[in-house]
Amino acid sequence: MIIQPLIKIYEKLGKFLIPFVLVLFFLFSSLLIFPNVQQRAVDYKEGQVAEKSIRANKTIENTQATEQKRQLAAESVTPEYTYDEDLVKRQEQLLKTLFSLIGEVKTEAALENESRQKAVKENETFQAVTIDEQIALLKKRFEQVDSDDLTFYQKIPNPFYELIFSMTNTEIEEVETQTLAIMNEQMGQQVRASNLEDIKQNANDKISFLNVSNDQAQAIRYLINQGIVVNSVLNEKRTEELMQAAKESVQPVMIFQGEVIVREGSQIDANMIEKLNLLGMTKQSTSIFPLVSMILSNVLQVLVLLYFLKQIQPNTTRFIAVIFYTAMMSFSIVVMKFLQLFQMNNTQYMPLLFPAAFVPLILTVFISRRTGVLAALFQVILATYIFYDSIGTNFLNIILLSYLFSGLMGTLLKRKRISEQGFAAIVWLMLFPFWMNVILVIYQGMSFTDSRSWMNLATSLVGGILSLILTIGLHPYIELLITDNSMIVLNELSNPNHPLLKQLLEEAPGTYHHSMMVANLSANAVAEIGGQSLLTRVACYYHDIGKLKHANFFVENLPPGAENPHNFLLPSDSKQIIFGHVIDGAVVLEQNKMPQMVIDICRQHHGTTLMKFFYYKAKERNPDISEQEYRYPGPIPQTKEAAVVSIADSCEAAVRAMDHPTNEKINEFVTNLIHDRLLDGQLDDSGLTMKEIKIIQQSLVNGLCSTFHSRIKYPKMKSEAEEMKQEQERRDRNGN
């Protein structure tokens, strides 16, 4: 056991050794993690090939990319136009007014023609009002219209007026009707500057299908080209508002901490350089804060451990706890560092192979559950720095949550051998952590058709399996290193060929047989209350080893017919010999470097019980003799195992000495003995509950009854034996 030399060093150095160990652990863990978070000088240039993936050192907005996206969003906005319905009505009214004026001119011309015709003398030629005169009359009437309307009329070319005044009233009405119909149809839609010519062309195409004369069609064209105008004007204010809203709706383009800016082996281009400049990563050192944070985390771990150690007694146990905790956490850090070395872009799931439940589980079993919880928590904290290159990525969340959940699951197992916990160990260490990783995959939206999802789940399952295998496989060897009652040691001590057992068998055969019987009784009873059965059995083998010094002074070793040597001794002398087997036995066991609990059971198996036989003999000689002088030196049993051995030892010896023991007599004796021990306070420090005492009582009664109760001879078995004997005699005679 490696811990024994360390305990001797602790006894020499005293209180300074634990701080020294903690400082050593702090330095070791800090130096091991330092390369992952150390401050580095960087100088990235365009065209340079990245030796490793470059990740963002902080979360920041990519302002240029954001502005580009906002500009694109603004440009994609459809301009807002306002449809001027009043303009459509105005154009229609202008045309109606025009035809009304033309009608007036035509009427005036007709009246003038009648007047001229009446005024013409006989044999003179009648001179009708000419078209030019009618045009002049129309334009004279234009002087009475609004100036804005006048502009519209003036833009109509003279050929129109020549054509229109050459037509009859019926033809003019047809022109008016068709013009208004086509114009209203085309102006009923939004006419913009961009599509004005297309709409006019469409209107002209419709004119060609009208049932009118060429002059009428041409007149309609003149009016359509002038009457169809832009009726949908760009609403600049509204359009600007829409563009601004589109810009504001664009989410800022962020560069997140941990985001890969340049992948390993890729050439750094201008866009990447721009991002690196924005992050301040082109010509400066990396942040020192991760390094400071890591150091403070290790300081916190040491402080938490120191505060926790104050609650552990005695000092040697405290020292073992700090040594074991720091050793196991160092192992944990080394394994995580090893896996981190193989973590690349195509093997990013390597860290999930880490057996996160192993160290918390081992510390829970060998030290305490609270120590295991501490290890589970600080494993996660240290993993944050070891896998620092993954910070900001979704994968780091998987690592940390997987480690935390698996580690805490390990602390929930019972504090006994994993190999004895069977299916429960598989559930806690494998199934529940695996299910948690399935949840993480779903949470991140990873597809189960993606090979990366299955790689994630497979590696996490392997990590759980490794935790289980390592715990089962290394448990006996870890136990051998830090405890003196490991399974390996106990199996070796239970070997009948062990020198002390051989000596006991040769020099005190009665005591040897008694020890074997007590071992069976005690181990069975301890097993039923969930105690350390094998340790109890081994302790029973050696609990009376002190009788070797005066073997013949113990009745079980006397040959048949031999007189008891205590008949020739004073009670005080007999007392010293009997007391001596406890003290001498503990000395022999210490000299042979037996487990401490075996030595303790040897000291405690008689507690401070009264040696009644010799006490009463002494009292006959001296009535003033004190009862305390004839009580064993103790102490009383301090553990459940020691209490069971104490009861079983007395019961086995007493029942062996009974004449014709029956089940009733055995049950009564065991019940009374346990009752007396309770009243005498012998079980006060053992930690046994009344329920456990009843279980122990029943187990001892069953064991003693099966061993010492006389067997009944059944008539049928006797007759069958006689028949077999007679059959064998006949065969012998026939054979002769």
Residues 371-427 have pLDDT tens digits of 999 999 999 999 988 887 665 556 777 888 889 999 999 999 888 888 778 888 889
Per-residue model confidence as pLDDT tens digits over 234-274: 777 888 888 888 888 888 887 766 667 777 677 777 777 77
How many domains is the chain partitioned into structurally? 4
d(CA 375, CA 357): 10
CA distances to 68, 463, 531 from 477, in Å:
65, 21, 21
Q: Same structural domain for residues 378 and 438?
A: yes
Q: Are residues 224 and 272 in the same domain?
A: no
Q: Domain end: 167, 202, 234, which one? A: 234
Q: Is 17 helix (H, G, I), strand (E, B) or coil?
A: helix
Question: How much is the average pLDDT of 155-178?
Answer: 87
pLDDT tens, residue by residue, 350-368: 888 899 999 999 999 988 8
Domain assignment present for residue 128? The answer is yes
pTM above 0.75, yes or no: no
95 vs 280: which has the higher pLDDT: 95
pLDDT score at 160? 86
363 plus 464 within the same structural domain: yes
Instruction: Judge whether residue 110 has pLDDT over 90.
Output: no
Closest CA to 673 of 707, 647, 634, 636: 647
- 225 and 344 fall within a common domain: no
DSSP one-letter code for 287: P
Residue 87 near residue 231, CB atoms below 8 Å:
yes
Strands (E), 556-652: none
For residue 725, tell me if it sits in a domain.
no
- Cis bond upstream, residue 360 (ω within 30): no
What is the tens place of the pLDDT at every residue in 648-701? 999 988 888 888 888 888 999 999 999 999 999 999 999 899 999 999 999 999
Residue 542: pLDDT band by 50, 70, 90 thresholds? very high
Per-chain mean pLDDT for the chain:
83
Confirm whether 729 is domain-assigned: no
**Based on the domain organization, do 301 and 278 belong to the same domain?**
no
Task: Determine phi and psi for 625, rounding to 5 degrees.
Answer: -60, 140
Q: What is the CA angle 131-134-137, rounded to 5?
A: 155
Alpha helices in 260-368 (DSSP H): 270-279, 289-309, 315-341, 358-366
Residues 12 and 47 in one domain: no
| Gap between the Cα atoms of 163 and 161, Å rounded | 5
Q: Are residues 463 and 569 in the same domain?
A: no
Beta 41-43 vs 283-285: how paired, if at all? antiparallel
Q: Domain range for residue 677?
A: 497-708
- The answer to whether position 243 is within a domain reads no
Tell me if 463 sits within 8 A of 410, measured CB to CB. Answer: no
Helices of type H across 622-662: 640-656
> For residue range 594-607, what is the model confidence (pLDDT) as tens digits?
888 999 999 999 99
Q: Is 283 helix (H, G, I), strand (E, B) or coil?
A: strand
Domain identity same for 513 and 576: yes
Assess whether 422 and 409 both reside in one domain. yes
Residue 69: inside a domain? no
What confidence score (pLDDT) does residue 243 get?
A: 83
CB count in 10 Å sphere of residue 283:
12
Token digits of residue 603: 């000291």
397 and 530: one domain?
no
**Is residue 450 domain-shared with residue 303, that is, in the same domain?**
yes
In a domain, 29, yes or no: no
Whether the Cβ atoms of residue 82 and residue 233 lie closer than 8 Å to each other: yes
The reply to whether 223 and 90 lie within a common domain is yes
Side chain identity at residue 532, one-letter code: Q
pLDDT at 718 > cutoff 60: no
Residue 208 lies in a domain: yes
Q: Does residue 169 form part of some domain?
A: yes
Residue that finishes a domain, picked among 433, 458, 483: 483
